[in-house]
C-alpha cells in the first residue's frame, strides 16, 4: 500500500466535528490532504476512498453528459462527484473535470467554456461549488493488481474490468467544513451495482 504523501498546508489543521463552530467564527477554511484510491469502472462510474489524517472520505462519481468544447483535450470529461463522510453519514456533491483516461486528474471547481454552460442542468443531489478538490494519479493498478486491491477494499467490484488510480489529493472549502462537521444529514447515496 502506498505511503500517504503530502500533509496539511502550513498552519492549517483538519476540521473535527467539535471545531466547526470555531471555524465558522474565525473564517478558517479546513484543508485535508492524503492519498486517494479511485476505482474506475468501464462504464465511467467512479467509487473509492480519500484517506487522510483529517477524516476518511468515500467518493462516488458519474460522468455527466455534456458537449465538449473544441478547446478541450479529447479525454476531457465532466463528473458529478459526491464525497461521503463515512463517520457522520453526510455527503456533498460537486462538478469536477476529469482529464486523462487511465491516469486521471480531477479538479473542482473549474472553468466552463462556451456551450458547456448550457449543457449542465440541475442535478440531484444539489451541487456545492464551494468544494475545492484536486487529485492526480501517480500509480495505476490494472488487471491482477487492481483485482488484488478490489479484493481487499471493494470486493463487490471484482471481475468488472476496473482500474484503480492511486495518488495525492487535496480538498478544502466551506463545503468540506460542513461535510466534516455534520452529525447526521440526508440519506447517503446508494448505488446497487457498486454497493452490492
pLDDT tens-place string over residues 114-137: 666 665 654 445 677 788 999 999
Residue 101, domain member (yes or no): yes
Which of the residues in the chain have pLDDT under 50? 1-25, 122-124, 184-190
Q: How far apart, in whole angstroms, are the C-alpha atoms of residue 128 and residue 92?
A: 7
- Of 125, 121, 129, nearest in space to 95 by CA: 129
Number of domains into which the chain is organized = 1
Residue 5 lies in a domain: no
Q: Is 107 inside any structural domain?
A: yes
Report if residue 162 sits inside a domain. Answer: yes
As to burial, measured by CB atoms within 10 angstroms (0-12 exposed, 13-18 middle, 19+ buried), residue 56 is: middle
Is residue 8 one of the residues assigned to a domain? no
Q: Is the pTM of this model over 0.75?
A: no
**Domain of 84?**
17-183
Amino acid at each position: 500500500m502506498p505511503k500517504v504523501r503530502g500533509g496539511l498546508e502550513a498552519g492549517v489543521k483538519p476540521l473535527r466535528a467539535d471545531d466547526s463552530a470555531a471555524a465558522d467564527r474565525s473564517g478558517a477554511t479546513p484543508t485535508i490532504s492524503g492519498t486517494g484510491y479511485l476505482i474506475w469502472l468501464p462504464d465511467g462510474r467512479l467509487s473509492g476512498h480519500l484517506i487522510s489524517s483529517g477524516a476518511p472520505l468515500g467518493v462516488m462519481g458519474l460522468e455527466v453528459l455534456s458537449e465538449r468544447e473544441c478547446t478541450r483535450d479529447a479525454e476531457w470529461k465532466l463528473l458529478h462527484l459526491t464525497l461521503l463522510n463515512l463517520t457522520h453519514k453526510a455527503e456533498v456533491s460537486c462538478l469536477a473535470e476529469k482529464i486523462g483516461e487511465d491516469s486521471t486528474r480531477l479538479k473542482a471547481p473549474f472553468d466552463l467554456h462556451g456551450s458547456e454552460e448550457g449543457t449542465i442542468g440541475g442535478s440531484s443531489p444539489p451541487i456545492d461549488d464551494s468544494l475545492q478538490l484536486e487529485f492526480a494519479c501517480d500509480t495505476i493498478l490494472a488487471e491482477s493488481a487492481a483485482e488484488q486491491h478490489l479484493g481487499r477494499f471493494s470486493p463487490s467490484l471484482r471481475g468488472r474490468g476496473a482500474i484503480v488510480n492511486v495518488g495525492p489529493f487535496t480538498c478544502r472549502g466551506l463545503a468540506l467544513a460542513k461535510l466534516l462537521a455534520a452529525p447526521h444529514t440526508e440519506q447517503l447515496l446508494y448505488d446497487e451495482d457498486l454497493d452490492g
